């Protein structure tokens, strides 16, 4: 029997008088966030009720995170928030030049920040909330990492049964174009090992130059958000990384794909959510 676990993202919810809730946000924020309606997320057979909230359209970028680090440098040590660039060296084929330039060079400003801890991402949320409070003093805004159930609401805001955030079960559109940034293996990379009685991946992916892409790459999903599947897996406040990454196979970038996450990784970044009026 499925347990019905109620998990509230916001204790107060919203009082929207408009048919278009995004209009309740200040104009300067409307192009950065989308409205996610209340609904239920199913995780391992359990039901989680999630209140409505606003989710960022994009993953947090290197440029945005550098601004946060610069602000911290004025009053506190940034050691706890630092980017672990050496994380790149844990991946085969990724060398010191990438580690040196990815987080610093302007060419990568619009790429997702990775190689940071969950604690650092949560500190970014606090800083961003403080900045918004200064800009919009009359609006009570809470900035947070999503819990996994809320992240699932972003990837499936209207349909609980779809595999990917664009609302379908396939990784390509009708023209055969790939819809996300992931490790694209073809049929030539799959074989059945009769001695082990299981399928195995062999050789290299079809596109061997896989790497992170800018946060606005590909088309937006059904929610209006970009790169929920693939690119950077996205950490949650309850200890998961969701949606797979540029280094994941197509199966592992599904909406329901998640793994327990601690530490930092060149495959994991984050996106923020807004709670307005409480939470």
The alpha carbon of 35 is separated from its chain's Cα centroid by a whole number of angstroms, namely 16
Burial (CB < 10 A; 0-12, 13-18, 19+), residue 233, is buried
Q: How far apart are CA 235 and CA 117, in angstroms?
A: 9
Q: Which helix (H) or strand (E) holds 127?
A: helix 118-135
Strand ordering across the sheet containing 46-50 = 4-6, 46-50, 39-43
How far apart (Å, rounded) are the C-alpha atoms in residues 35 and 228? 15
Residue pointed to by tokens 């993953």: 59
* Cβ atoms < 10 Å from Cβ of 188: 10
C-alpha of 113 from chain center: 11
The whole-model pTM stands at 0.86
List, as one string, the DSSP characters of 226-254: S-SSBSSEEE-TTSEEES--TTS-GGGGS
Residue 121 has, within 13 A of its CA and on its CB side, a CA count of: 31
Count of beta carbons in the 10 Å neighbourhood of residue 116: 26
Tokens linked to 241: 């990384």
Residue 59 has what pLDDT? 98
Given a contact cutoff of 8 angstroms between Cβ atoms, the answer to whether 110 and 213 are in contact is no
Q: Which residues are paired to 92 by β-bridges?
A: none
Q: Helix or strand or coil: residue 86?
A: helix
Domains of the chain and CATH, by start: 4-13+21-167+175-276 (3.90.1580.10)
Residues 6+ apart with CB under 8 A from 62: 102, 103, 104, 108, 109, 110, 111, 112, 113
Tokens of 24: 């309740």
Report pLDDT for 202.
58
d(CA 113, CA 63): 8
pLDDT < 70: residue spans in the chain: 1-19, 74-78, 159-160, 185-191, 198-209, 278-279
């Amino acid at each position: 029997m499925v347990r019905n676990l109620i998990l509230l993202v916001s204790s107060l919810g919203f009082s929207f008088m408009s048919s278009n809730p995004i209009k309740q946000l200040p104009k300067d924020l409307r192009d950065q966030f989308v409205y996610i309606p209340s609904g239920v997320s199913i995780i391992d057979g359990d039901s989680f009720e999630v209140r409505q909230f606003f989710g960022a359209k994009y993953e947090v970028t290197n440029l945005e995170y550098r601004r946060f680090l610069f602000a911290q440098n004025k009053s506190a040590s940034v050691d706890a928030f630092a980017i672990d660039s050496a994380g790149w060296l844990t991946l085969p084929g990724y060398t010191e030049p990438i580690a040196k330039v990815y987080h610093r060079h302007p060419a990568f400003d619009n790429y997702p920040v990775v190689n940071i801890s969950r604690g650092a991402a949560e500190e970014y949320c606090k800083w961003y909330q403080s900045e918004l409070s200064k800009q919009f003093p009359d609006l009570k805004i809470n900035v947070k990492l999503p819990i996994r159930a809320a992240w699932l609401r972003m990837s499936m805001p209207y349909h609980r049964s779809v595999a990917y955030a664009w609302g379908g079960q396939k990784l390509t559109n009708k023209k055969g174009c790939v819809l996300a940034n992931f490790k694209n293996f073809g049929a030539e990379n799959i074989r059945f090992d009769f001695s082990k009685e299981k399928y195995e991946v062999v050789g290299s992916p079809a596109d061997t130059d896989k790497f992170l892409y800018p946060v606005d790459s590909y088309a937006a999903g059904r929610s209006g958000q970009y790169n929920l599947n693939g690119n950077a897996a996205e950490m949650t406040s309850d200890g998961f990384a969701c949606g797979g990454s540029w280094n994941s196979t197509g199966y592992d970038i599904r909406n329901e794909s998640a793994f327990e996450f601690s530490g930092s990784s060149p495959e994991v970044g984050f996106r923020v959510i807004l709670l307005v009026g409480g939470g």
